[in-house]
Amino acid sequence: MREPVALVGSARGVRVSGLLPDGRLAEPLGGDEALVGVLPPVYPEWLGDRSFVAAHGCRFPYVVGEMARGIATAEMVVAAARAGLMAFFGSAGLPIPVIDEAIARIREALGPGVPNWGANLIHSPQEPHLEMEFAELMLARGVRNVSASAFMRLSPAVVWLAAKGLEQGPRGEVRRRTHIFAKVSRVEVARPFLSPAPDGMLRALVEEGRITPEEAALARRVPVAEDLTVEADSGGHTDNRPLPVLLPRMIALAREVSEEHGYALPPRVGVGGGLGTPAAVASAFAAGAAYVVTGSVNQCTVESGLSEDGRLLLAGASMTDVAMAPAA
């Protein structure tokens, strides 16, 4: 809503009217109508937490989420980043060479120095080497943003990404090389991401030569993730948590952990899951989300890696066409 609007009331309710340049109502008052008030513009760039767009170099507090096995394609990332959104490549389930090739395509299309994109690290508890190989690639290629999803607990790969390249700024602030977005739906999983990295993991990474003692010391001052994506009932990994219950609890947790550790600013808490319409996105911001994340709805786009038949099927689906089912 980039222009002011007037609220006009009557016995029939309240309607919205635009305003002409001279301040007059675009639609004259009816016989029983009265001007209730005038609302100022609300720019979409101003929604959520303004520090999100400042930190990540995007225009809008809106994330195009990673969809596994390349459904969130390199082309989708490029289109979203050019539109001023944050976007994550759906790298989960893909071999490292394929991920590397996609990163090269994204960087070639966007050019050097464009910060508002990243890739997805999915939890692989039975194959931790896959997480470490992914982390090594992200650091080698200088990918600034990593979305960590489906994690049940912190892993060395996440801590390595979060700690590597930390440095202290001129005012004593800690500057990050890699920004971790933690996608969670449970309080007990969120807390470690909102806390500084565990000492044991930091010591092990120092001993392995993956981070310096100075980086480990700085990692003890900041949360592992400055951005926590609360995943409500979504089309992917889901605990079927309702957004109006889960989001306020996570916002309170972020403040609690921030006060406990004395952070200068609490971590930002965004939300995804069920955000398929403008009204749903508006409700998420109204509930206090710092940013919003879309996922399943993006499968219908022309840049999606889904088949054309699949896109058409999803585009025509309604709420009652969706149910929980087993997944491999």
DSSP calls for 80-143: HHHTT-EEEE--TTS-HHHHHHHHHHHHHHH-TT--SEEEEEE--TT-HHHHHHHHHHHHHHT-
Residues 248 and 103 both lie in one domain: yes
pLDDT above 80 (res 235): no
Query: Is 328 inside a domain boundary?
Result: no
Mean pLDDT across 17-32? 89
Rounded alpha-carbon distances, angstroms, from residue 20 to 15, 39, 41, 174 = 16, 14, 14, 48
Tell me, yes or no, whether 12 and 142 share the same domain: no
Per-residue confidence at 328, pLDDT binned at 50, 70, 90? low
Question: Under a CB-based contact definition with an 8 Å cutoff, are residues 15 and 5 in contact?
Answer: no
Q: Is residue 326 part of a domain?
A: no
Could you tell me the residue range of the domain that residue 31 belongs to? Answer: 5-39
Q: How many distinct structural domains can be found in the chain?
A: 2
- The percent of residues above 70 in pLDDT, for the chain, comes to 99
Using only C-alpha atoms, what is the Rg of the chain? 22
Calculate the average pLDDT of the chain: 94
**Is residue 327, in this structure, part of any structural domain at all?**
no
Question: Does 122 lie in the same domain as 194?
Answer: yes
- Per-residue confidence band for 284, with pLDDT thresholds at 50, 70 and 90: very high
Nearest to 159 by CA among 106, 97, 225: 225
Tokens read off for 61:
């507090």
Do 132 and 239 belong to one domain?
A: yes
Look up the pTM and report it: 0.91
Residue 208 resides in a domain? yes
User: Does residue 238 surpass a pLDDT of 80?
Assistant: no
**pLDDT digits over 179-220, tens only?**
999 999 999 999 999 999 999 999 999 999 999 999 999 999
Contacts of 277 (CB under 8 A, 6+ apart): none
Answer yes or no: is 91 within a domain.
Answer: yes
Q: What pLDDT does residue 22 have?
A: 85
Query: Do 34 and 54 reside in the same domain of the chain?
Result: no
- Looking at the fold, whether 113 and 201 belong to one and the same domain comes out as yes
One domain for residues 25 and 99? no
